[in-house]
Each structure stands twice: as C-alpha cells, then as structure tokens.
Amino acid sequence: MRLTVAQALVRFLANQYTERDGIEQRLIAGCFGIFGHGNVAGVGQALLEAELDPEQDLPYRLARNEQAMVHAAAGYARMSDRLSTMACTTSIGPGATNMVTGAALATLNRLPVLLLPGDIFATRVASPVLQELEDPRSYDVSVNDCFKPVARFWDRINRPEQLVSSALAAMRVLTDPAETGAVVLSLPQDVQAEAHDWPEDFLAQRVWRVRRPLPEPELVVEAAALLRGAERPLIVAGGGTIYAGATEALRELVEASGIPVAETQAGKGALPYDHPAAVGAIGATGTTAANALAHEADVVLGIGTRWSDFTTASRSVFAAADVRFVNLNVAPVDAAKHAGLELVGDARAGLEALAEALEGWSADTAHCERARGLAAEWDATVERAYTLGHGPLPAQTEVLGAVNRLSGPRDVVVSAAGSMPGDLHKLWRTRDPKGYHVEYGYSCMGYEIAGGLGVKLAAPDRTVYVMVGDGSYLMMAQELVTAVQEEVDLIVVLVQNHGFASIGALSESVGSQRFGTRYRDRTGAPLPVDLAANAASLGARVWRAQTVSELEDGLRAARAAGGVCVVHVETDPLAGAPDSEAWWDVPVAEVAALESTRAARAGYERDKRTQLPYLTPRAGVKTP
C-alpha cells in the first residue's frame, strides 16, 4: 500500500494490541497533539485521514501544553497497568523540547509513553530552517537529541524504509515491563510527507504479549528459607505489585503467613488500608507503624519497588545491622539493589511461587500482633488529623479527610509534588488497588491536572479527585481546557496556601527560614491572585470554601454537577501532618552565619550517622 510515512505510522499504531492473561486491548489508545510546521502536514494530515476513515481508530485530542500531554499519557498508562498508553505529537523546536520533562517522568516511573516529535529536514535542502539548533560539530544534531538521556528507546527516521524496524522496536520497548518508559521516534518533517510502498504485514493487526517471567526456582527456595528463618519479616509492596495485577496474590500470601505489609507511594493500595496485615506507608512519608517495623526487620521482601530514598528514608529506616533484602522485581536493575536476593520475575508469578514454597509456615504470632497494634494506633492518629478542628483556616489534613470521607471505594485520588503527596501517603485510606494515583518518582509540579485527565480517560467509570496546591496549579493548569473540550468529569480540589508549603517546611528544617517559599509582594502582603477566578476563566465550574463544612458542600455539589469542577479551599500552611518519625537526607550548609542553619547542621550530622550501606550478604553466599 502506498502511503506517506506519517499515514503508515498512524495505521500501524491503530493496529497494535497488548495481551496479558488472555485479555487483549489497544496499546495506543489515541494521540494527544499540538500542531506546528514540523508535524501539521505530516502526522497532522495522517490523523485527519484516520478520523475521517471509519476503518481507522486512533482518536486525536488537542492538548494545550506539550509537557502536560505527556503527563496525561503517563497517567493513562499507569491507570491501565502499563498495558495501554497514548501517543503525543509535536512540532520541532520548543514543542518538542517541552516534552522532555514528561519523558523523564515516564521513564523514571517505568511508564510507557510514545512521543512523536517533528524534526528538521532530513534532506537539509534549506538549512538552517526555523527552530533548527545549529551544532557546528554535526549536521545530524537537533533539539530532539535532548530526549536521548531520558528515553528508553530513541530513533530518528531519516528514510521511509527505516520506519518498519524502528516502529517494531518501539512497540517492543513499550510492552516490556522491565524496559518500558518513554519511547521517542523523531520524524523529520520532509520524511513525514514522503510516500513509500508499505508491506501489508507491517500495517496488519499485531498483538504484543506482556510476559509474566518466573523467577529462578532455586532462588525462590532460598528466599523462602530466608523468610522462614526470619523473626521480624516485613513486606514492602511497590508499584510493580499493582501493575502486575498481583494484589490478590499478595493478599493470599499474607493471609497465610501473617507477614505485615508496608507500601511505597506507587504501591499504596496493594492492600486495603484496613486489612489486618496492612501497616501503611513506609519511609520518609510513612506511618509510625510501618517505620517501627522496618526499623526492627531482619528480612525484607520488596515487591516491585525500586527502593527510592523516600522509601528507605535515605537508607536509615531499615536499621537492623544484619537486615537482608529479598527483591522480587521484573527489572534486574531493581532486583539487585541493597545486595538483595534477586528474584527476577513477574510480581504475581513470583508471589504465587513464594506462597507455594512457604506453605504451612507463618510469621511469629507476637510479631503479627504487634504490627496490628501499631497499625491501629496510626489509624487513630489519622482520624485525629482528619478531624483536627484547626482554625480559622483548616489544616491540609482536614481537607484530605473531607475528600477521603466523601469519596467512594473505587474513586481515584490524583496528586504529585509538594506537601500533598507526603500527607496523602501517610494519611489516605485507600480501599482499591487503583484508587491512589500519586506521582512521586519524579515529584513533578504540574502533573496533577494533566495526570488526572489521563486517569479519567483510562477509567471513565470512576470519579477522579485531583488534589493540587496553588504552586503546582500555577505551573500547569492548561489541561483544564482540554478536559472541558473532551467533556470529562473531573473534580479538582485546589488548595490555596499562598506559597510552597512543602519546600517551606523543608527550608525551615535546614535552617533557611522558609526563604523564597511564600507568595508575597515586596511589602510582605499576600499577592492579589485569584486562582478560583482563573479556573472559571478556563471553563470550569468553581466553588469556594473557607471551612471544612463549605468544602464538603462544594464536593457534593461538584459530584452532582458533573463536568470539570474546581473546589477552591484556603488552608493554613503552617498546620502540618503527623510526623512519620523518619529522616530524609537533604544536606545542610556545613558553615553558616545563621544560628538556625548551624543548629540544623548539628541535627543533620546526628541523623547522617543512621545511614547504612545495606551490603549484608545473603545466606549461601561466600564472603572473602
């Protein structure tokens, strides 16, 4: 069939499917885009033909910000357990480079997104062209080379013939749970419009099987032996537990063994918050229950976690000198961390194998009872934080409590950077594996609304609550317009505290006195910014709240109204959440004129001594 490169690519993408456990679904569910001279005549024309042709099915959605549309694609992919995602197309130049931050977020979080930036002319007949970066070292360099460090696969299609092998390689990476992340196909604008005779097999339907590799049997036996010999075992459930659909396997394992389960940000919801084995969030933003158990643990089973510094409290929360790690992870790079026993494999398949190897064994009764007692104590702490009665403005924890109480079991809370993710991680009572969606791998301000849009597109039957602070809102609110355009129901809770609450608290903790974190004019007065009016100007229905009662009224009204709704609530930025009793390594100035900094440095040096290298060899490994 004779088609342009862009037309062939669009037809190819519309025919790609994933299959896992016998269930097939579209791999590329649609395409976000912003057109410019670098893609309007190629990919733009091809998407128009696809929209007019009932046999093609690749819906196009106009976005407002290039970074935001990648966030929306990442939100869609995470909500779809990485089995389906979106493509994103831009022009060359600033449109392309605006996507770099989104690409980094997707790759860091192991989320598949397909990016199709336009590129300079392959023929170079009119170089330098508009928005071309001239590199005197090579004429083959463009701004799209910026994607290389943050992409899992990158290629430039300089000839039509190159598309076949490159497109297939791109799909392979997108569907590989160990390798997935941002995939970038740079498309020179002249090549996009060039015609070629394409093999029918390239354009035919293709199904990519998402594998469930089993860990090596002898290592499963060794892991079971480590757990059987543990006095204080602990499980840490990461995002891979949820992506692999392994939450039921986890529940069966812990109900048979009694091992307590803590959760990372991405793994929150792996067990319902009130499950007898659930001890809540772990690490720098964790619960006192999970962190107390981590402090004592002698064997830690990590499932689908990459062991970030927040999860380990900068390698201080697992404090036993001889603590040993068993890492069940589909990605070898993560399975090898902390000198752990490497169970490289799918989370569900690995948990089922472990459950079989542990049959008849259970953790010490006193250990399990202690875990339940600690979890109950923390739940009482959550209830106090939710009903604080702080005034005159409510505390942020009370706002979270109101949303948590009024949301349904299958509803989804979405958040990202700032103080909100930490408060949500330790306080939110999650009842469903897909009910908690907080981007904290990259901690990217501006993800919230765009990510919420992607979540809602992936799960139209769920109510989505976007929790966003004023700082993140000001970074990227444009996709409210896209949500209005797409007629999706989205409830945005806009928390106004007139500054950067999270960094303000961090600044204070390192002796920097909240410098540069308040939204004030030069006289110290609050800025005359009305974010509620801004949201209304973008097409959202808006409710304003000064109290928890008014917030609850606004939430009920928003849910009943449908469409894009924003509930704006003022909070006290100095009313913090309960302490996790964990540390996070943020270096403090070694010398300073300020007494506040000198005091913070003394505390930093004390806490720094709690860090461990996590190099304990496992049983059966000979040491020199």
pLDDT digits (tens, 9 = 90+) for 90-125: 999 999 999 999 999 999 999 999 999 999 999 999
Per-residue pLDDT tens digits for 232-288: 999 999 999 999 999 999 999 999 999 999 999 999 999 999 999 999 999 999 999
* Under-70 pLDDT residues of the chain: 618-624
Torsion over CA: 548, 554, 560, 562 (sign): negative
φ, ψ for residue 182, nearest 5 deg: -75, 135
Q: Would you state the torsion angle of the CA atoms of residues 437, 215, 371, 440, taken in this order, to the nearest 10 degrees?
A: -20
**What's at 40, amino acid-wise?**
V
- Give the pLDDT confidence score for residue 518 in this predicted structure: 81
- Give the pLDDT confidence score for residue 202 in this predicted structure: 98
The Cβ of residue 160 has, within 10 Å, a number of other Cβ atoms equal to 18
φ, ψ for residue 518, nearest 5 deg: -105, 140
Query: CATH 3.40.50.970 in the chain, residues?
Result: 2-209, 389-570
- Give the pLDDT confidence score for residue 367 in this predicted structure: 98
Fold of 389-570: Rossmann fold (3.40.50)
- Give the pLDDT confidence score for residue 512 in this predicted structure: 85
Query: CATH 3.40.50.1220 in the chain, residues?
Result: 217-377
φ, ψ for residue 392, nearest 5 deg: -75, -30
- Give the pLDDT confidence score for residue 620 in this predicted structure: 53
Tell me the CA distances in angstroms from 403 to 166, 392, 447, 554, one per residue in order. 45, 19, 19, 11
Q: How many residues does the chain have?
A: 624
The Cβ of residue 615 has, within 10 Å, a number of other Cβ atoms equal to 7
User: What is the DSSP secondary-structure string of 426-477?
Assistant: HH----STTSEEE--SS--TTHHHHHHHHHHHH-TTS-EEEEEEHHHHHH--
CB 123 within 8 A of CB 41: no
Is 55 strand, coil or helix?
coil
Is 564 strand, coil or helix?
strand
Q: Does domain 2-209 have CATH number 3.40.50.970?
A: yes
Of 237, 243, 9, which is closest to residue 111 (Cα–Cα)? Answer: 243
Q: What is the CATH number of domain 217-377?
A: 3.40.50.1220
β-strands 85-90, 341-344 pairing: unpaired
Looking at the chain, the whole-number percentage of residues with pLDDT higher than 70 is: 99
φ, ψ for residue 17, nearest 5 deg: -130, 155
- Give the pLDDT confidence score for residue 506 in this predicted structure: 81
- Give the pLDDT confidence score for residue 500 in this predicted structure: 79
- Give the pLDDT confidence score for residue 257 in this predicted structure: 98
CB 358 within 8 A of CB 227: yes
d(CA 113, CA 330): 19
